[in-house]
């Protein structure tokens, strides 16, 4: 009964969440937490990353990353973080990775410089990560997890009421695996593809060459490394991703050329 009531309570809370439309036209379920809460969570996660991981002592690397971040942020809509005081950090880690968090936080690992070999390719990485923030992907992720947890609570409670505690536990465990594979991870792949769209558009507006997003992912593939099957991955298949980036790059060239003609020609490094 307790599991059933908990599941119903969570489900009722999620029912109060809102729907919105993503930058690519997807229906998103958001609103499980407020923007202020998201910003606080982002600030806390950023502070923890700084406390746990050494930061670069190379002032040129940090200035380089901040230059790219600032150029991209200037092109954000007023209601999507343009007025936020964005902060950036460069972490000493050989893995090629980066992230952006609500509240205007960007982290780049030094390993990214092995694959992002010029400012345009770095803009493709950071633009993608900022795309997650302005497309409300963190909010969406939290909300969808709450929906999944609410449904599992209800299913586990019903199984327990009919067949006992062991059945409830088994239902919850199996349901968690199913939710991860078919509900949460597919959403992550959709978010990754969407962040590509948003980030590539953003870099073109800022005067970075959108074609370099293609070169970035070619470098990523060249760097090697094993990856899980696409259906268990939170990222789209790299080769399919490159094809989509290439197709969009051609359509974004006029926007990029207009940005350069208007004086938006970043010189970050």
Going from N- to C-terminal start, the domains of the chain cover 2-261
The helix or strand, by DSSP H or E, that contains position 190, with its residue range, turns out to be: helix 185-205
Output the DSSP codes for 116-141: --SHHHHHHHHHHHHHHHHTTHHHHH
Model pLDDT, residue 244: 92
Asked whether the CA dihedral 117, 46, 23, 74 is positive or negative, the reply is negative
Q: What is the DSSP letter of 101?
A: E
Per DSSP (E only), the strands in the chain are 18-21, 27-30, 87-91, 98-101, 105-109
pLDDT given for residue 161 in this prediction? 41
- For the chain, helix, strand, coil in percent to 5 are 65, 10, 25
pLDDT for 92 equals 98
Q: Say how many C-beta atoms besides its own lie within 10 A of residue 86's C-beta.
A: 19
pLDDT at 212: 98
Alpha-carbon gap, residue 264 to 76, rounded angstroms? 14
pLDDT at 221: 83
* Residue whose structure tokens are 């997807």: 26
HEC secondary structure over the chain: CHHHHHHHHHHHHHHCCEEEECCCCCEEEECCCCHHHHHHHHHHHHHHHHHHCCECCCHHHHHHHHHHHHHHHCCCCHHHCCCCCCEEEEECCCCCCEEEECCCEEEEEHHHHHCCCCHHHHHHHHHHHHHHHHCCHHHHHHHHHHHHHHHHHHHHHHHHHHHCHHHHHHHHHHHHHHHHHHHHHHHHHHHHHHHHHHHHHHHHHCCCCCCHHHHHHHHHHHCCCCCCCHHHCCCCCHHHHHHHHHHHHHHHHHHHHHHHHCCCCCCCC
Q: Within 13 Å, how many C-alpha atoms sit on residue 245's CB side?
A: 29
- Tell me, what's the pLDDT at 187? 52
**129 catalytic, yes or no?**
yes
pLDDT digits (tens, 9 = 90+) for 188-238: 778 888 999 999 999 999 999 999 999 998 998 888 655 544 444 556 777
User: What is the per-residue pLDDT for 81?
Assistant: 58
The active-site residue, picked from 48, 95, 129, 244, is 129
Q: Which residues of the chain have pLDDT under 70?
A: 1-17, 80-83, 147-187, 224-235
Separation CA 73–CA 43 (nearest Å):
18
Residues 6+ apart with CB under 8 A from 118: 212
Instruction: State whether residue 91 is helix, strand or coil.
Output: strand
């Amino acid at each position: 009964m307790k599991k059933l009531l908990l599941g119903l309570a969570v489900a009722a809370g999620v029912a109060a969440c809102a729907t919105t439309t993503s930058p690519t036209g997807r229906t998103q379920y958001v609103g499980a937490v407020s923007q202020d809460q998201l910003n606080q969570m982002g600030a806390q996660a950023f502070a923890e990353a700084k406390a746990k991981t050494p930061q670069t002592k190379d002032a040129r690397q940090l200035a380089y990353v901040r230059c790219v971040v600032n150029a991209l942020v200037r092109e954000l809509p007023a209601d999507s973080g343009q007025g936020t005081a964005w902060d950036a950090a460069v972490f000493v880690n050989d893995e090629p990775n980066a992230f952006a968090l609500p509240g205007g936080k960007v982290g780049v690992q030094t390993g990214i410089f092995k694959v992002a070999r010029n400012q345009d390719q770095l803009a493709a990485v950071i633009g993608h990560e900022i795309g997650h923030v302005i497309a409300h992907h963190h909010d969406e992720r939290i909300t969808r997890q709450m929906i999944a947890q609410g449904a599992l609570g209800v299913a586990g409670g019903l199984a327990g009421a009919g067949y006992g505690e062991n059945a409830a536990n088994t239902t919850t465990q199996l349901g968690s695996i199913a939710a991860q594979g078919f509900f949460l991870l597919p959403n992550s792949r959709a978010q990754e593809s969407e962040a590509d769209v948003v980030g590539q558009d953003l870099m073109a507006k800022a005067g970075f060459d959108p074609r370099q997003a293609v070169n970035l992912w070619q470098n990523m593939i060249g760097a090697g490394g094993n990856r899980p099957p696409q259906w268990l991955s939170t990222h789209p298949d790299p080769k399919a991703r490159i094809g989509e980036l290439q197709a969009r790059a051609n359509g974004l060239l006029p926007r990029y050329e207009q940005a350069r003609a208007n004086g938006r020609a970043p010189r970050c490094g």
